[in-house]
Structure 1
Amino acid sequence: MRWRLLNELADRIGIYAASRLSAQLPGLIFRGQRSGDTGLNAHLETVEEYPKMGKVVGLQIRSDEDKNVERTARGYVCRGEMLHFAYWLQHSLPVILMVYERERDRLVWEAVSAETIEISGAQWKLLVPYDQAYGVETGARIADLPCYSPYLARLALDRPWMQLIEAGRGILLEMDEWLNQPSVRGNLRLSVMTEDNSARELVFEWPFQTDPDMPHVFRLPSLFPWAHIEPDQAFYRERLRDDRKVEGLSPWTVEAGEIARFRLRLALNELGRAFLVTEQFLRRGEFPAAERARDFGQEYERGIKFQLYKGQG
């Protein structure tokens, strides 16, 4: 039990280091993954000039102090359960395994594929070479990794948010925008509400890029194509002291004519609902049960095949 806790602590240090080192690299955005995911603890997005789309990959980050990481002559050999390997190969995003070298304060990495992973009994092993360091050229290397359409990858990355909304959890989106300072970078705050919607349970930062002369509110539909976005009506009515419904994505206040503050709510739109159904089928072969007619006709139902099927029911 103790070694498992030490492994988790060492890997957590690696995740923090990956976030810190990514912030120093142009064209790369690091996003930590919510806990509970199987085998992925972060995502990395390569950023191209808007409106071009970048590319998203899933990350599994370990430390050279992890007991499941072995130092060899060519690189680090990482091992794990077959559950992770099957999950990675079936994922709609490319997956990269990184190892953090604490003494050298650097990351080395390797793409996960059927060609790079070896099966050994009930485990897999992957060699992460010393000479493949995480740096300025990594973005171009990632861009060459095979994956689904970047649009499908975008939806796959946001799947946890869609699942939370489908489960009835409230998602708040808050944004502050400097109106008189053109910038290509913006930042959102996403909050997951408690089941009774009385308090925030988790808060996440959501960095994004846009054109310097584009108001941030016009970027929201492309950031959340799966969501219907609307003002938090109860909050706006309280702050504005107006019982009328707020129309459009307007800020609830503009401070000193400089900072516009928004508080919005996300709900699944038609695309989001359709993606969750499609994703269930793509990942697990699950599909909605077809409506079964009650009467197929007497001649059809007298057939042997129908009688056998009916008997199995």
Structure 2
Amino acid sequence: MPTRKQSASIAAIGVTRTQLYVQEDLGWLFREQPTEDYGIDAQVEIVDGDKVRGRLLAFQIKSGESWFDQPTAGGWWFRPDEDHARYWINHSLPVAVVLYDPRTNLCHWQLVNDSTLEQSRAGGWRLLVPEAHVLDRDAAAVFRRAAAGDPFQLRLRELQLSRPWMDMLAEGTRLVVDIEEWVNKTSGRGSITLGIDHEDGKDPEPLANWGVWLGLASYADVVPRLFAWADVNVHEQTYDWADQEFSGGNGLRPYKNGAGEVDFWRLELALNELGKAFVVVDRFASDGLPQLAPPRP
């Protein structure tokens, strides 16, 4: 009979506990990241009341008693390897390491930056995770300050995070957006899932999922702004098969309704001029040679 390693179970519980603390104590959005995102397990988006403003944090989550084996005054030492340390320091988002202790069901955290990440005498890296840094509502102020930025920088962060999806579109992968909109809720509650259409007649392979509350705003108007680097159109095959007629702004509309409660949408993305230009600029900024610039006064 197949068995599951205990370490895998604890790791999953740690992610779930972190998600609960973020959503219930902080009231923010939690998005688990795909496994191929090296060194980052989740993104957390700050919510102000009912406003989602694009302020993001990246979480690396470690679960289990072994991560608490190096106690020190006021907390525990966490020792990342060289690759992870440099990856986090250079990440486009502020990064926090979260340690989940299954003995207490608490999550302890520390931001990763030049002030908190130390190089030991032996040449390795270490990060002090304070015992007092418990993931609860008291962490909100520090996280808000870390995620704050001017609108220009926030937009660049969002584009950088979407770059892998831009690359997929540029390589010919079909990306679709599935939406479930609860039409009888004034909160505009719904879910948005980005996935790959393998054109095999099966459901798309999910890449990311978000819970949203758009209030009275129209999904047809808001969703294209959430994927500003792509043109958004209806997924022709799905709508050809649908037997219901809907109207919608910009030609975007649901293809069916379930029990009078939920509208279902399936939209397709195509890389637009913004996306194409950003891929070129981001590639240059990552790999290009330093440029001559006017000297600072």
Contact 2:182 2:262 (8 Å CA) reproduced: yes
Q: 1:256-310 CA distances to partner (integer Å, 9 max, x unpaired)?
A: 55432211111222222222222223333389xxxxxxxxxxxxxxxxxxxxxxx
2:251 is paired with a residue of what secondary structure? Answer: coil
2:23 counterpart residue number: 23
Letter of the 1:222 partner, please give it.
R
Residues 252 and 52 of structure 1, relative CA distance in 2, 3 Å threshold: closer
1:296 counterpart residue number: none
1:53 counterpart residue number: 53
The one of 141, 152, 155 equivalent to 2:159 is 155
Q: CA deviation at 1:76?
A: 1.7
> What pairs up with 1:26-45 in 2 under 5 angstroms?
26-45=26-45
Residues 70 and 197 of structure 1, relative CA distance in 2, 3 Å threshold: farther
1:82 counterpart residue number: 82
Residues 36 and 257 of structure 1, relative CA distance in 2, 3 Å threshold: closer
The one of 195, 202, 206 equivalent to 1:191 is 195
> What pairs up with 1:220-259 in 2 under 5 angstroms?
220-240=223-243, 248-255=251-258, 257-259=260-262
Q: CA deviation at 1:187?
A: 1.1
Contact 2:89 2:113 (8 Å CA) reproduced: yes
Determine the C-alpha separation between the residues in 1 that align with 2:89 and 2:286.
11
Structure 2, unaligned runs of 5 or more: 291-297
Residues 107 and 285 of structure 1, relative CA distance in 2, 3 Å threshold: farther
Q: 1:53-89 CA distances to partner (integer Å, 9 max, x unpaired)?
A: 1410111111242458623332121112111111111
Determine the C-alpha separation between the residues in 1 that align with 2:61 and 2:287.
26
1:230 is paired with a residue of what secondary structure? Answer: strand
Percent identity between matched residues is 30
Determine the C-alpha separation between the residues in 1 that align with 2:191 and 2:61.
25
Determine the C-alpha separation between the residues in 2 that align with 1:70 and 1:36.
29
2:65 is paired with a residue of what secondary structure? Answer: coil
Letter of the 2:20 partner, please give it.
R
- The farther-off stretch of 16-25 and 140-149 is 140-149
Q: 1:111-160 CA distances to partner (integer Å, 9 max, x unpaired)?
A: 10111111134531100000111111323211211666221222233233
1:24 is paired with a residue of what secondary structure? Answer: helix
Q: 1:233-275 CA distances to partner (integer Å, 9 max, x unpaired)?
A: 1221122499xxxx71011124555432211111222222222
Determine the C-alpha separation between the residues in 1 that align with 2:52 and 2:30.
18
Determine the C-alpha separation between the residues in 1 that align with 2:132 and 2:158.
30
Structure 1, unaligned runs of 5 or more: 288-313
Determine the C-alpha separation between the residues in 1 that align with 2:69 and 2:159.
32
> What pairs up with 1:64-75 in 2 under 5 angstroms?
64-66=64-66, 70-75=70-75
Q: CA deviation at 1:51?
A: 5.5
Contact 1:59 1:98 (8 Å CA) reproduced: yes
Determine the C-alpha separation between the residues in 1 that align with 2:70 and 2:10.
14
> Normalised by the size of structure 1, how large is the TM-score?
0.78
Q: 1:146-192 CA distances to partner (integer Å, 9 max, x unpaired)?
A: 66622122223323322332332222211122333211432112222
> Normalised by the size of structure 2, how large is the TM-score?
0.82
1:145 counterpart residue number: 146
Determine the C-alpha separation between the residues in 2 that align with 1:222 and 1:140.
28
2:80 is paired with a residue of what secondary structure? Answer: strand
Residues 172 and 95 of structure 1, relative CA distance in 2, 3 Å threshold: same
Residues 160 and 10 of structure 1, relative CA distance in 2, 3 Å threshold: farther
Letter of the 2:154 partner, please give it.
P
Q: CA deviation at 1:230?
A: 0.6
> What pairs up with 1:199-238 in 2 under 5 angstroms?
199=202, 200-202=204-206, 204-210=208-214, 212-238=215-241
2:279 is paired with a residue of what secondary structure? Answer: helix
- The farther-off stretch of 34-43 and 145-154 is 145-154
- The farther-off stretch of 149-158 and 277-286 is 277-286
User: Number of matched residues?
Assistant: 278
Residues 286 and 258 of structure 1, relative CA distance in 2, 3 Å threshold: farther
Are 1:173 and 2:177 counterparts?
Answer: yes
Q: CA deviation at 1:208?
A: 2.1
Larger radius of gyration: 1
Determine the C-alpha separation between the residues in 2 that align with 1:66 and 1:193.
40
Determine the C-alpha separation between the residues in 2 that align with 1:122 and 1:6.
32
Residues 12 and 254 of structure 1, relative CA distance in 2, 3 Å threshold: closer
Residues 152 and 58 of structure 1, relative CA distance in 2, 3 Å threshold: same
